[in-house]
Structure formats: C-alpha cells, structure tokens
C-alpha cells in the first residue's frame, strides 16, 4: 500500500477513535447545556488538530527538499 493512502487511512481511524472517545466522555473539555453545541465544538477542535498535523507534515517534507 502506498504511503499517502496508508496515512489517510490511519488518520481516518484516529479521527474516528477520538470522536468515539469524545462521545463516551460527553465531549469532555466542552461543557454545554446542549449536546449538539458540545459535539460541534469537539468536532471543530478535532478538525483543527488534524489540519495542524497535516500542515506540520507537509512543511517538514518541504524542508527536506
């Protein structure tokens, strides 16, 4: 399997695990009265972390060139 495909699959698995764990912990860091608001905040946080990780990987590979 090629590296980019493998990376995307592991990233998807990681995001799924984090979202599942967040749901089990009632979206822990975001205490709100409405479940939907906490879920949206948690998913936004996960997306920001994924974008940050991907950006760091891209920048590190560009520095190698």
Domain total for the chain? 1
SS3 content of the chain, % helix, strand, coil (to 5): 80, 0, 20
Q: Is residue 4 part of a domain?
A: no
Q: Is residue 43 part of a domain?
A: yes
Do 33 and 27 touch, CB atoms closer than 8 A?
no
The model's pTM: 0.70
Largest CA distance in the chain: 49
Is pLDDT at 1 greater than 60 in this prediction? no
Residues spanned by the domain of 33: 12-64
Q: Is residue 19 part of a domain?
A: yes
- Given this model, what pLDDT does residue 63 score? 86
Q: Is residue 59 part of a domain?
A: yes
Quick: pLDDT tens for 5-43.
788 888 888 888 888 887 788 777 767 777 788 788 888
Q: Is residue 40 part of a domain?
A: yes
């Amino acid at each position: 399997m090629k590296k980019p495909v493998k990376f995307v699959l592991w990233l998807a698995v990681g995001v799924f695990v984090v979202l599942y764990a967040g749901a089990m912990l009632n979206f822990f860091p975001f205490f709100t009265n409405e479940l939907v608001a906490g879920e949206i905040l948690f998913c936004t946080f996960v997306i920001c972390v994924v974008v940050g990780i991907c950006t760091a990987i891209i920048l590190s590979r560009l520095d190698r060139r």
